[in-house]
Amino acid sequence: MHGDQTTRTKRCSWCGEHADYQAYHDEEWGVPLTEEQRLFEFLTLEGAQAGLSWLTILRKREGYRRVFEGFDRERLARWGPAQLAEAQASTGIVRNRLKIKAVVTNARATIELAERGPGLSQFLWGFVDGAPRQNQWHRHEDIPAETPLSRQLSRELKQRGFTFVGPTICYAFMQAVGMVNDHLVGCFRHEPCARLGQRFTLPERDPS
C-alpha cells in the first residue's frame, strides 16, 4: 500500500503507526477463527501479553511458534522439567516461568476438553451462540476491557484447568479471534468483519 493510501485509511486508533500493529489489525484482528490450533495459539499469546504490550508479543510471535512446537498441544502436553527449562532460557519469548508453565497446563486442559466434550472451538464459540457479536463502537475509549461474557468465559476456563485466562485476557482473545467485532464503526475493517460474521458457520468439529 502506498503512503498516501495509508494516510487515508481509517483504522482503529490502538494500532497507531506501527507497521506490525497495522498488518495484524488489517489482516487478522476480528476475523472469525475456528481452527483449534490457531485458537490455542491466540489463547497462549493473549496470556503472554498480561502486563505487557501486544506489540511486544506480536514481535515475538515467531519465537513463540518455534519454542512451543507450533502450538502442537499433544507435544506440549508431554513436556517435562527439561523442556520447561529450555523454554525459559529462550530469548525468543517472554521468559516468565508461570506463563511458560501455563502453556503446558493449557495444552493438557485443551486435550481433556476435547476428550470430554466438543473440543476447544465448539466450547469457545458456544459462549456467543455460534455467531460473532457485532458491536457498534464509535470511540476506542468506549470499548470495555472486560464484559460479563468474558468473565463467564474466564470462570469456565479456570474450572476446566486453564490458567492465565482472566476476564481481560479472555475479552482480548474474543476480540482477536472474531467472537466479537470490536472494530470501530469508522474503521475500514468494521464492515468486512461484519460481513464475515454474517456468513459465519461454525463447523461441527475441527479435527485439528
Pick the catalytic residue from 21, 29, 41, 54.
54
Whether 54 is catalytic is yes
Tell me if 15 is assigned to a ligand binding site: no
Whether 46 is catalytic is yes
Whether 24 is catalytic is yes
**CB count in 10 Å sphere of residue 208:** 14
Pick the catalytic residue from 24, 35, 69, 146.
24
Pick the catalytic residue from 21, 36, 41, 46.
46
Tell me if 12 is assigned to a ligand binding site: yes
Task: Write out the catalytic residue numbers.
Answer: 24, 46, 54
Going by the annotation, the residues of the binding site for Zn(2+) are 12, 25, 183, 187
Going by the annotation, the residues of the binding site are 12, 25, 183, 187
